[in-house]
Structure 1
Amino acid sequence: MRRDRGAVMVEFAGIFPLILLLFAVAWQCAVIGYGFHLAGNAADEAARAAAAAGGGEGACGTAAREHIPASWSMSVSCPLEGVVRTARVELQVPVLFPGAFNLPITISGTAGAVEEDR
């Protein structure tokens, strides 16, 4: 019994980095999922704003940026395809939290809205 003293502490010290890694991977998956949510919502709002503005590429970009936190890197395009204004929002995936480094992965959200007559 005396020889086993401290064994639990050594085992915990060995497994603790793996536990931290598991939490980091789970958190990164949550950040990626949140990015998909942000991109889709921003694309919806951008398409609606551009369609209502009647050809407002500027309205599209402004509406998308209003729905994405400033710490996320993004790009927006809103081409007119026939009578449908299509908004495409692309986000860079941050590593663990926005504002630091980005993974070499791009998340995109696309939405369309019919151009309104004025």
Structure 2
Amino acid sequence: MSVHRRPYRPGGRRRGRTGADRGQVAVEFVGFLPVLLLIGLAALQLGLVAYAAQQAGTAARAAARAESLEDGPDGAAAGRAAVSDWLTVGFAWGGSSDEVSVTAEVTIPSVVPGIGDFGEVSRTSTMPRD
């Protein structure tokens, strides 16, 4: 039994594909592109939140260590020197005669400037006095 097959024609049109379907993938991609951009920006913002938290901990430890030393440097200067220059950091002091406690607050930057206020993240470090 023989089966009738069409001859192969290089460069011929494929079955079932009409001229109206051309470019459909490109249009779907353009429609999905804003969703991809929002997901990417959200991931970047989450990374900035984590980075600000890490920098707040570093600033608090550096400032507390500097303040705990008897003839050490200024705690605020040491804390600011320990973080990236583009971050805004503030300090609050506490403690007793035996120890010093420093709370560092870092303002969380925004991926898109002017859009969204993400607040501040704070970390506290306590060191014994020398």
Q: Same fold (TM over 0.5)?
A: yes
- What displacement does 1:78 show? 2.2
**Structure 1: which 4+ aligned runs deviate by more than 6 Å?**
none
Q: Please say if residues 64 and 101 of structure 2, whose CA atoms lie closer than 8 Å, have aligned partners that are also in contact.
A: yes
What is residue 50 of structure 2 aligned with on the other side? 33
2:103 aligned partner, one-letter code:
R
Does 2:29 align with 1:12?
yes
Q: Which has the larger radius of gyration?
A: 2
Partners of 1:104 and 1:16 in 2: CA distance: 25
Q: 1:85 aligns with which of 100, 114, 120?
A: 100
Task: Map residues 34-113 of structure 1 onto 2, 5 A cutoff.
Answer: 34-53=51-70, 59-96=74-111, 100-101=113-114, 103-113=117-127
Q: Structure 2-normalised TM-score? A: 0.78
Q: Structure 1-normalised TM-score? A: 0.85
Q: Please say if residues 87 and 111 of structure 1, whose CA atoms lie closer than 8 Å, have aligned partners that are also in contact.
A: yes
Paired positions, count: 112
Q: Quote the sequence identity (%).
A: 26
* Unaligned segments of structure 2, at least 5 residues: 1-16
Q: Please say if residues 89 and 109 of structure 1, whose CA atoms lie closer than 8 Å, have aligned partners that are also in contact.
A: yes
What is residue 3 of structure 2 aligned with on the other side? none
Higher helix share: 1
Q: Please say if residues 60 and 78 of structure 1, whose CA atoms lie closer than 8 Å, have aligned partners that are also in contact.
A: no
